[in-house]
Amino acid sequence: MYSKTKFFLISFCLVSVYSFCQNTFVPDDNFEQTLINLGWDSGPLDDFVPTANISGRTSLDVSFDITGLIISDLTGIEDFAALTQLYVQNNQLSTINVSQNNNLQILWCFNNLLSTLNVTQNPRLISLRCEDNQLTNLDVSNNSNLNVLVCERNQITTIDISNSTGLNRFQCGNNVLTNIDVSANANLSFFSCEQNQLTNLNLLNNTQLTSLYCFNNQITELDLSNNTSLTDLNCSNNQLCLLNLNNQNNNAFTAINFDINPDLYCVVVDNATGNHSTWVPNSFLNYVNSLEECSNFIPIDSFENVITTSYILPPLNNGNYFTETGGIGTTLNPGDIITTTQTIYIYSATTCNSNESSFMVIINNADYFIPKFFTPNNDGANDVWQVYDRLNLVNNISIYNRHGKLLKFLPSTKSSWDGTFNGELLSSGSYWYEIVLNTREILRGHFALKR
């Protein structure tokens, strides 16, 4: 009698355990009701759903837009073993466990209350949308198949997408990111990183990029010369000093906005004289063909070379005096007396760019001064050969090559030679001069042209 009773009890327990193991615990009534509405549970609400009814399902959409029910607990999702698509957006989920859903390819969980999200066990993910949550970190290092990643409007401080080399669409705006490295994402086409704390953005490797939104950051330089597919750009509200749009495809641009970059003096483009009337700001005029031309927009004073017995530096409106190029060396001041021959540099710098001019002060007590060389390279310094005649003693000057061919006739010392003959640049070397004084005395000698 004892053995028979024991057998029935053990059998009942085994049946009960077997029955229990065939059900999935779903404590959220709205989640269970949704599964009942889908016909995957028969009801009434009892916190359990037959596992066999869900384990083979490949797609599940329990977003509020579809169900009309707000779900706060997704416990039970672990038993959706075959799931490839999961849509749970617009609910009130504070956690979500998809560690058992290894086949998952699409996960949309945006507009919830998530503070953490672990997708390291979902290597097949191709689309992840988790925007409008409370995430501070997002690890996608194991999601090499990602094609779409949207994590906007969170509190993310860092994100590494270097393993997601196939990423095509990346939206990470409205976070607290200070740096984003997209150099490994050569297929990136749509990139938005607006309203972060970025100071730099290197996009030289992203040649497939068509849309870029990086407004409201602290970016100082943006070189888009390699981004030949770019059509849409908004980099307004930054601290840009450099904006290079010379990508040889400016005609493809449909929208350009670089407004509210107060230190941006010039923009490098394909054609400085082209039509930029649809770009914002449309009042911007300082377009150039090369970065070097940007200095032209920084006002700078300039003076002619002088020959004198002493020289008093005049007042300046734009720039400051220095003894060396680039704003270094000794600082000189208006009113200083120059008593030695030297080149004086006038240097002016803004937050972004600088400009410079120079002139020679030749201290000479002789009646005239004949330069021994000049460097006609259009750098603004010593570009012409000119005799300085303090007492107007010179009548005219002739310049010859070493074969005695006349290259230039200068009717007075107010004239100069730029190193050309019939519009052609002459090579470096020695050239000869013949100076005729008012007394008809003739001075002959040579000087060097250096390029």
* HSE-CB for 317 with a 13 A CA cutoff: 6
Residue 295 has which token pair? 């200095």
Inter-residue contact 216 to 194 (CB < 8 Å): yes
What is this structure's pTM?
0.75
Bridge partners (DSSP) of residue 394 are 437
Going by C-alpha positions, the residue among 163, 162, 151, 57 that lies closest to residue 111 is 151
Task: Note the pLDDT of residue 304.
Answer: 84
Inter-residue contact 422 to 401 (CB < 8 Å): no
The predicted-structure confidence for 255-297, as pLDDT tens digits, reads as follows 999 999 999 989 999 999 999 999 999 999 999 999 888 888 7
Inter-residue contact 182 to 200 (CB < 8 Å): no
Task: Note the pLDDT of residue 413.
Answer: 84
Residue 88 has which token pair? 């749970």
Task: Note the pLDDT of residue 21.
Answer: 56
Q: Which domains does the chain have, with CATH numbers?
A: 298-365 (no CATH), 366-451 (2.60.40)
Q: State the SS3 of the chain.
A: CHHHHHHHHHHHHHHHHHHHHCEEECCCHHHHHHHHHCCCCCCCCCCEEEHHHCCCCCEEECCHHHHCCCCCCCCCHHHCCCCCEEECCCCCCCCCCCCCCCCCCEEECCCCCCCCCECCCCCCCCEEECCCCCCCCCECCCCCCCCEEECCCCCCCCCCCCCCCCCCEEECCCCCCCCCCCCCCCCCCEEECCCCCCCCCCCCCCCCCCEEECCCCCCCEEECCCCCCCCEEECCCCCCCEEECCCCCHHHCCEEECCCCCCCCCEECCCCCCCCCCCECCCCCCEECCHHHHHHHCCCCCCCCEEECCEECCCCCCCEEEEECCCEEEEECCCCEECCCEEEEEEEECCCCEEEEEEEEEECCCCEECCCEECCCCCCCCCCECCEECCCCEEEEEEECCCCCEEEEECCCCCCECCEECCEECCCEEEEEEEEECCCCEEEEEEEECC
Q: Which residues contact 405 (CB under 8 A, 6 or more apart)?
A: none
* Average pLDDT over the chain, rounded to an integer: 92
Task: Note the pLDDT of residue 350.
Answer: 83
Task: Note the pLDDT of residue 12.
Answer: 37
Task: Note the pLDDT of residue 291.
Answer: 86
The predicted-structure confidence for 16-30, as pLDDT tens digits, reads as follows 333 345 999 999 999
Residues of the chain with pLDDT under 70: 1-21
